[in-house]
Amino acid sequence: MQRRFITTLLISMALVSLVLAAPAWSAKTVKVGFVYIMSGPFSAYGQFAKKGAELAVDEINAAGGINGHQVEAYFEDSTGKPDVAIRVLRKLVFQEKVDFLIGLDSSGVANTVVPSIPQMKTPLIITHAATPDVTGKVCNRYVFRISVNLPQNVKAAAMLAAATDAKTWTTIGPDYAFGHQSWEYFEKYLKELKPEMAFLPKADVAFPPFKTTDFNPYINKIMQSGADGVLVSLWGGNLIDFVRQGQEMGFFDGKRQVLMTLGAATEVLSALGDKMPEGLWVGTRYWFLANSSQRNQDFVKAYFDRFNEYPSYNAHGAYGALYTYKAAAEKAGSVDKEKVIDALEGLTVELPVGEITIRPEDHQALSDVSWGQTAAHSNYPIRILNPVKLFKAEDVTPPVAESGCQK
């Protein structure tokens, strides 16, 4: 008697839940997986990306979603390690069954992970990792990048360097691919512009290990070297420590030209406040005040209203990537992965940073690069860039033949 009662109860519960779940089955959602560094010393970048992504998801869903379907976002932590990144990417593709992937902060992780993406048959837009290899040596059909990459940013630096009167250049950069490649490309591009320019040899330049917190020995080395131009490719916490310690040591006394390829990152400017010297040329991947378009103003205002801070480049990267996906899906008329890839190639879309076009041959986006001189401004608690110099995409992007991409 009791057994029959329980069986009936269970069966009716199952039926009821089936009926209630039915509407959920019929409403298809578009699933997007985001993979960024969410923990450890660089978790700031993942947090920024998550904020940008959440803003984009809410805006897009409020406007009807992608091709009429609501967007569901899944966030995973790459922890900055390639094996973890591959594991979470696989989880997103095979378990959560996402339609699209966005992410990757670390160039090291990107280099290792990108060759595995074709097996997952899911398109990935990279929004931060700047190594030229992901749209070069290891490029493939499924991987795109909408953010400014290393050669583009460094070419702009070289163009700025050529316009100064510095005659001998040295560098200080983190001791991994990013630091070394920044210097390699800088030397190459600057030599093309000014063949008589001199560069310090390997033994005299400074590549502090990533975990360095004490830059004094390196600052000392550069000040002693006699170079009158310095390319600084340090970023994040390294750059904050370097600028503070450099100030104390008199590094910014005007005896040398200093170019900081990632000095305009908002997390660096916020932490440094008044300690960031004025008049330094700094670059970034997105500067929130560079573009006066309505699209950018709306984005900056919406971001500031929601998060009470100005959007960093990583926030813009995730935000822009989702809108790029939306544009591609609309152009293709579907979220089928292969059709979206075909739509992405050659796509032009307006993002807060400006209008970008994705080059079909190597999947690198062509977008303008902004550099500027640091300046104080009464309206803002951080240093802003004034003047801002905009480098057109055509002038700074290496031609496809140079990229090394063979799809």
Where does this chain bind another protein (CB under 8 A)?
A: 39-44, 46-47, 175, 202-203, 206-209, 211, 213-214, 216-218, 220-221, 223-224, 236-237, 240-241, 244-245, 248-250, 267-268, 270-273, 275
Minimum distance, C-beta of residue 249 to another protein, in the bound complex (Å): 6
Minimum distance, C-beta of residue 148 to another protein, in the bound complex (Å): 22
- Residue 144 or 242: the one with the smaller Cβ distance to another protein is 242
Whether residue 234 contacts residue 173, with contact meaning beta carbons closer than 8 Å, is answered with: yes
Q: Which of 182, 177, 165 is nearest to 109 (CA)?
A: 177
Tell me how far apart the alpha carbons of residues 333 and 328 are, in angstroms, rounded to a whole number.
Answer: 8
DSSP string for 76-129 = EE-TT-HHHHHHHHHIIIIIS--SEEEE---HHHHHHHGGGHHHHT--EEESS-
Q: Tell me how crowded residue 72 is: count the other CB atoms within 10 A of its CB.
A: 16
Tell me how far apart the alpha carbons of residues 40 and 53 are, in angstroms, rounded to a whole number.
Answer: 20
Minimum distance, C-beta of residue 137 to another protein, in the bound complex (Å): 23
Q: Is the backbone of residue 294 left (phi > 0), alpha (psi -120 to 50) or beta?
A: alpha
- Residue 42 or 189: the one with the smaller Cβ distance to another protein is 42
- Residue 12 or 216: the one with the smaller Cβ distance to another protein is 216
Minimum distance, C-beta of residue 272 to another protein, in the bound complex (Å): 7
Whether residue 52 contacts residue 103, with contact meaning beta carbons closer than 8 Å, is answered with: no
- Residue 214 or 338: the one with the smaller Cβ distance to another protein is 214
- Residue 226 or 346: the one with the smaller Cβ distance to another protein is 226
Minimum distance, C-beta of residue 163 to another protein, in the bound complex (Å): 29
Element (H, E) at 386: strand 384-391
- Residue 68 or 201: the one with the smaller Cβ distance to another protein is 201
Q: Is the backbone of residue 103 left (phi > 0), alpha (psi -120 to 50) or beta?
A: left
- Residue 80 or 398: the one with the smaller Cβ distance to another protein is 80
Minimum distance, C-beta of residue 39 to another protein, in the bound complex (Å): 7
Q: Cα torsion for 328, 330, 336, 337, to the nearest 10°?
A: 10
Minimum distance, C-beta of residue 69 to another protein, in the bound complex (Å): 32
